Amino acid sequence: MGMRQTCIYLNSTTLPPDILAAGTAILRAYAPQAKLQTISQQDMEQELDAGSLIRVERVRQTSLAIDGAADGASLIDREDASVWRGCAIWAELIDVCDRDGAGLSQVDEAVITSEEVGAIAQLPLIGRESFSRILVKQILLRLLVQRGFSLPWGILTGMRPAKLLQRMEDAHLDCQRQAEIFSGLFRVTPSRIALLQQIAAVQEETVASFAAHPQEIALYVGIPFCPSRCSYCSFPGTVPAADRADVCAYLQALHQEIAAVGLLMREQALVAGSVYIGGGTPTMLNDGELDHLLERLRCEIPWAADGEFTVEAGRPDTIRAENLLILQRYGVNRLSINPQSMNPATLRRIGREHRTEDIVRSFELARALGFWLINMDVILGLPQEGLAEVRMTLDAVGKLQPDNLTVHALAIKRGARDWEGRLAHVSQETALLMQELSRERAEQWGMRPYYLYRQKFAAGHLENIGYAKPGMECRYNISIIEERQHIIGLGAGASNKIFTPDGRRFSSYFHPVNLPTYGDKWRRVHEQRIIEIDKLRSS
């Protein structure tokens, strides 16, 4: 039987397309390589007649009576309904082979009854999704579970699940009520609920300081150059030209933006509570370029008295005594040295041009030369790595005793070589074991989780977690994930978030990813910053 690309069609004879679209988010998370779309009943039948290899998701609905409304009334948002009765929603998941195949290979069915709908309706509607969308996601979640998926985050597919917990805390809901909502409304597992609540407790003092010091902002500076491109990388970045003309042109535009932002901050009485130079690999700048960049930041940007200053020295093959001393001279107090793996074969496989010995050497050099806090990143689920390789990496990292550990679940995204090569993730069971092992080690090293975010197409559909020893948490990381203070991003691809006075809503602006385009158009984003910050003053 000749198989074609898998297609996932989401179809309903009663639910409107915008409600069905909510279901595609959860389906896409578990079938990232598939073609996925909503489809009309007629088009679906034509595809079946053509013999395509497809998986069909049908969501159907029986009559719904609301306050005596006629049977067959369409499902509406809970806010418009005071009584739910006679309601049953169910879905069928059908695998269809082409005409030469065996026909329907498996049919699964799941149902949400009127009693369950009523129980869900008793929970506060936290977040931005309507009740209808939540019900559609819940029914599709049940089908996925029947197919053997483990979904620790339930129907949540967004990057920042802690935002929901923030809204619950703003509504003065206690931990027990928070757990009831996460479990009943979003089907999040108890372990993930406890993790979110633990992180919120760690962040409480830092988040409170954001509110107490509204004049402080977080500042990001992007250096989108690397010595080589990793196989999993989908970020905007490039290997510099041999003559470094592209680096020179980029830095010239970046210095201009630094001056403009510094002027705006002084006019608006803003100061940088945290500055984060990321990439790319900032430490691949030569000594003159790095010195000039840091000198511009120190001279042009108003800094808070106790400002945090982080630089990603992510690739150990770019770390030398000379550039570490430059960082030290300008007050850098946090470094990130990122091995990703301590397995030599893995490093070669993913395109990192350094050895495990380089990681140890650069870490020890940094410890000897500076009194900064050091973070190390590792990635779970790298190609051809299993639990034994992750254990070896964690053993080696533990001997170095970093102050922070960031644990990423490998995300295979469009634009990465691994995506183009259709790299298969490790099994979810293996990914969960890897993550549990990393959690155990972090705890043994005296660390606790302090921030969390999720990415699409991640191994095991898991999360990325930052661990830190008490009092050594990175304020910038908390700011960028929890979104409770202004964030100004400088450089290609950087994002800007300007918040309303209540700190609950913000306007976002993004620099162009393309380097020459950034050089030509960064002023447009800066004009938007000025407008939005002026609005705050007038309000």
Q: Does 383 lie in the same domain as 250?
A: yes
Which amino acid type is present at position 505?
R
- The structure's pTM equals 0.86
Examine residue 452 and state whether it is found in any structural domain, yes or no. no
- On the question of pLDDT at 40 being above 90, the answer is no
Portion of the chain with pLDDT greater than 70, in percent: 78
For 357, the token pair is 């010995």
Phi, psi angles (nearest 5°) of residue 125? -85, 90
Examine residue 155 and state whether it is found in any structural domain, yes or no. no
Q: Does 234 lie in the same domain as 118?
A: no
The domain boundary, picked from 126, 149, 172, lies at: 149
Examine residue 407 and state whether it is found in any structural domain, yes or no. no
Which range of residues forms the domain containing residue 70?
7-149
CA distance 79 to 524: 41
pLDDT digits (tens, 9 = 90+) for 71-95: 333 444 444 444 344 445 555 555 5
Q: Does 226 lie in the same domain as 115?
A: no
**CA separation (Å) from 307 to 310, 331, 487?**
10, 9, 14
pLDDT digits (tens, 9 = 90+) for 471-500: 999 999 999 999 889 999 999 999 999 887
CATH code: domain of residue 499: 3.80.30
Most trustworthy range by pLDDT among 69-73, 99-103, 464-468, 535-539: 464-468
Which uninterrupted H or E stretch holds 377? strand 373-380
Examine residue 123 and state whether it is found in any structural domain, yes or no. yes
Residue 537 burial class via C-beta count within 10 angstroms: exposed 0-12, middle 13-18, buried 19 and up: exposed
Q: Is 224 within 8 Å of 489 (Cβ atoms)?
A: no
The predicted pLDDT at position 30 comes to: 66
- On the question of pLDDT at 57 being above 90, the answer is no
Q: Does 379 lie in the same domain as 506?
A: yes
Q: Which of 23-27, 369-373, 466-470, 513-517 has the lowest mean pLDDT?
A: 23-27
- When pLDDT is averaged across residues 391-414 and rounded to a whole number, the result is 93
The predicted pLDDT at position 82 comes to: 40
Residue 302 burial class via C-beta count within 10 angstroms: exposed 0-12, middle 13-18, buried 19 and up: middle
Q: Does 124 lie in the same domain as 260?
A: no
Examine residue 457 and state whether it is found in any structural domain, yes or no. no
The domain boundary, picked from 131, 149, 167, lies at: 149
For 381, the token pair is 């689920």
Q: Does 234 lie in the same domain as 130?
A: no
pLDDT digits (tens, 9 = 90+) for 162-196: 989 988 988 899 999 999 999 999 999 999 999 99
Examine residue 205 and state whether it is found in any structural domain, yes or no. no
Report residue 146's pLDDT band, with 50, 70 and 90 as the boundaries. confident
Q: Does 238 lie in the same domain as 366?
A: yes
Examine residue 94 and state whether it is found in any structural domain, yes or no. yes
The predicted pLDDT at position 319 comes to: 95
Taking all residues of the chain, what is their mean pLDDT, rounded to a whole number? 82
- Total structural domains within the chain: 2
The domain boundary, picked from 149, 166, 184, lies at: 149
Q: Does 496 lie in the same domain as 388?
A: yes
Collapsing DSSP to helix, strand or coil, 94 comes out as strand
Q: Does 258 lie in the same domain as 132?
A: no
Which amino acid type is present at position 336?
S
